[in-house]
Amino acid sequence: MALQAHLDSDVTALPGVGENRRQTLAKLGLYTLRDVLYGFPRTYKDFTRVWTPGELQDEGEYLVRGELIELSERQISGGRRLVQARLSAGGGTLKLTWFLVHRRRGYTYIYQRLQNAKQLWVYGPVKRALLEWEMNSPEFYLKAPRAGLAPVYPLTSGISNQMRVRWVEHVLGYLGEIYECLPSHLTAQFGHRHEALRSIHFPMSHSALEKARRRLIFEEFFLFHLGLQLGATAVPGKVHQPDGPLVERFFQSLPFQLTNGQVQAIADVRSDMESSARMGRLIQGDVGSGKTIVALYAAVKAVESGGQVAVMVPTEVLARQMVDRFRDALQKLGIEVELLVSNMPKKQRSAVLEGISSGTIPVVVGTHALITDGVSFKNLTLAIVDEQHRFGVRQRQALGDEQSADMLVMSATPIPRSLALTLYGDLAVSTIRDMPAGRKAVDTRLIHPRQRNQVYEFVVKRVHEGEQAFVVFPLVEESDKLDLRAAVQEMERLVKGPLKGVRVGLVHGQMGQEKEEVLEAFYRHELDVLVSTTVIEVGMNVPRATVMVIENAERFGLAQLHQLRGRVGRGDKQGYCFLIADLKSDTIKRRLQAIRHSTDGFMIAEEDLKLRGPGDLLGLRQSGQPLFLLGDIVEDRELLELAAIEAKRLLEENPELEGYPTLREEINRQRPAI
């Protein structure tokens, strides 16, 4: 404990750091001893191997040793001096050059210091010159430097690398061997923290560095998962009855055969709902994979057990669509479904509120209006949240927390497992990987802007066949006025030109209630084409829509494109997706080709995650601050998964983490996720 507290001390506790240096260190983000300790090297100088000039093969940074066979110094222009030397060993030579600015500290005496040297070690970038290897401005050593990898820290004027080395050594020395937080079976696997911290600053070898990184990354992930799961395990929830005749009738009413993924997801939900622990389950599946069936099943089951069900979706349009779908499926079973949104007649609203609290309304579908004051359920046993990432974790939990209702979360954004673990670490996951049989893949094409008009002619043709189309324009930022104006102009140009004569609705993110009305009208087929910025809702279900046109497709992430494409071809007609893009660069071309040829949202999401990072994948702005100091949820996903499993295991054995004071302390220090 005392140790931990000591790490929170101000940097002035370090030797040679007073008020001035404290301010300089602040520029590097170093305020406490912990910052110094966790201020890992930017890179390393590789002293693990000493090369002779004769062994050099490729350009790069090397530590080279040789006999000093030549040394000269002369005055050049601008008051500078040029020192040149030549090393020889192993049958090759290396030419060394230093340009010395007079009076600049450290440089002035190179010539004098080298004068009596016989052997020399130099470190720097080796380049191939005409006849031999050369190195400019190398660091040099008269004795062999300590073997291993030498840390290179971010610096600022007034702070030298050597100082940082000294300070890190100071803090490490203070910590000793007792600074450990992981249980012993994990230190046996990953090594000790103190050792890892020493090694990441001063690794003896590449493998030692790798081992240290693994230990520290594992620790980061492990603490993160403990934080997520602590207190979330085995909360008592609702116990639902085994499936009865109502559920039976529900299954019989389905006009199709369930896919394997659906069957499995339903089985997961069944066992969660029947158990006494509170269900926390994420159902994820690609667009069109049929997640709604799982939600409907859960709702019927809850109602059959005498409970109430709340279904929360992010927008009013989606709420209205969802109500339709729930009514479609449930009314024939005699289950009433009501809508609750903020924007509804007062009288109707109070009737719904009354029915919710008296228990006469078994199923209610709504927006966040469901979690506002004045909504109180008689016996809520199941909360369903759709399109989860649009809600904060807290909002998700707010629905149903009061009565610790079972929780079912549905995500239409295929999320790579690694990321799902990070964002939904407190949820169990069921993934629907297969598509309903007979589903036609959307015909996807890359279109050069010059051929744009043909695309719109095609759109008009489909419209005359009674089909509908989306046209999407990207906005760099919804709040960017200039960008928005450009997009709106483009849209208007379309309306007056290529799309003349068809019923076009226009929406963008800065519209208020009006936007919902346009979307609603499109949904009701009072409009043929919906032109919009990216605000077309994930989850918009318009079976008559067959064409998706995406302008400036190169500006979207792959996962986003895939989501947009998923809006069409949901009925029995063939869907089309046109990606209009100037394929200037190869990367753009490769990316768009990838989406053209793949229909697997998970693979696309993985690809996107690699290319653009998690912020983009979720359509969120990158916060700039990575979630983890060292760990990368893509590169290190194997450790991320392992950490999740180990965290779960530990909490099952020891839910309060008794006997692990350091661990608890570390968890509390972790900044909250998202």
| Interface positions with ligand ADP (CB under 6 A) | 256-259, 262, 285, 287-293, 412, 436, 541, 570
Which listed option, Mg ion, ligand ADP, none, makes contact with residue 288 (CB within 5 to 8 Å by class)? ligand ADP
For residue 227, give Cα distances in angstroms to 119, 194, 274, 425, 666: 55, 22, 27, 10, 9
Cβ 537 to Mg ion shortest distance, Å: 10
How far apart are the C-alpha atoms of 340 and 327, rounded to whole Å?
A: 14
Q: Are 223 and 666 a contacting pair, CB within 8 Å?
A: yes
Closer residue to Mg ion (CB): 498 or 539: 539
Which listed option, ligand ADP, Mg ion, none, makes contact with residue 562 (CB within 5 to 8 Å by class)? none
Which listed option, ligand ADP, Mg ion, none, makes contact with residue 293 (CB within 5 to 8 Å by class)? ligand ADP
Cβ 255 to ligand ADP shortest distance, Å: 8
Nearest to 561 by CA among 656, 674, 446: 446
Q: Label each residue of 220-248 as H, E or C.
A: HHHHHHHHHHCCCCCCECCCCCCCCHHHH
- Considering only the stretches 153-161, 278-286, 539-547, 620-628, report the one whose residues sit in contact with Mg ion under the rule CB under 5 A: 539-547
Cβ 329 to ligand ADP shortest distance, Å: 9
Cβ 651 to ligand ADP shortest distance, Å: 32
Closer residue to ligand ADP (CB): 292 or 418: 292
Which listed option, ligand ADP, Mg ion, none, makes contact with residue 413 (CB within 5 to 8 Å by class)? none
Burial of 373 (0-12, 13-18, 19+ CB in 10 A): exposed
Residues 116-175 that bind Mg ion (CB under 5 A): none
- Considering only the stretches 88-96, 359-367, 534-542, 626-634, report the one whose residues sit in contact with Mg ion under the rule CB under 5 A: 534-542
Closer residue to ligand ADP (CB): 291 or 591: 291
Cβ 619 to ligand ADP shortest distance, Å: 17
Q: CB within 8 A of 60, min separation 6: which ones? A: 125, 126
Closer residue to ligand ADP (CB): 295 or 487: 295
Which listed option, ligand ADP, Mg ion, none, makes contact with residue 418 (CB within 5 to 8 Å by class)? none
Closer residue to ligand ADP (CB): 29 or 438: 438
Question: Tell me, what amino acid is at 413?
Answer: T
Which listed option, Mg ion, ligand ADP, none, makes contact with residue 256 (CB within 5 to 8 Å by class)? ligand ADP
Q: Are 561 and 550 a contacting pair, CB within 8 Å?
A: yes
Cβ 468 to ligand ADP shortest distance, Å: 16
Residues 195-201: contacts with CB under 8 Å, at least 24 apart? 197/37, 197/172, 198/172, 200/40, 200/41, 201/40, 201/41, 201/151, 201/165, 201/168, 201/172
Sheet of 576-580: strands edge to edge?
A: 443-447, 576-580, 545-550, 468-472, 529-532, 504-507
Cβ 289 to ligand ADP shortest distance, Å: 4
- Considering only the stretches 157-165, 311-319, 470-478, 536-544, report the one whose residues sit in contact with Mg ion under the rule CB under 5 A: 536-544
Looking at the DSSP assignment, which residues form a beta bridge with residue 75? 81
Question: Tell me, what amino acid is at 364?
Answer: V
Q: Are 169 and 130 a contacting pair, CB within 8 Å?
A: no
Nearest to 424 by CA among 439, 442, 409: 409
Which listed option, Mg ion, ligand ADP, none, makes contact with residue 258 (CB within 5 to 8 Å by class)? ligand ADP
Which listed option, ligand ADP, Mg ion, none, makes contact with residue 109 (CB within 5 to 8 Å by class)? none
Cβ 433 to ligand ADP shortest distance, Å: 12
Identify the helix (H) or strand (E) that includes residue 253: helix 245-253
Residue least distant from Mg ion (Cβ): 539
Which listed option, ligand ADP, Mg ion, none, makes contact with residue 53 (CB within 5 to 8 Å by class)? none
Residue 12 DSSP one-character state? G
Which listed option, Mg ion, ligand ADP, none, makes contact with residue 99 (CB within 5 to 8 Å by class)? none
Q: CB within 8 A of 57, min separation 6: which ones? A: none
Cβ 387 to Mg ion shortest distance, Å: 8
DSSP string, 329-346: HHGGGT--EEEE-SSS-H
Closer residue to Mg ion (CB): 39 or 539: 539
Residue least distant from ligand ADP (Cβ): 290
Cβ 570 to ligand ADP shortest distance, Å: 6
Closer residue to ligand ADP (CB): 182 or 538: 538
| Binding interface with Mg ion (CB under 5 A) | 539
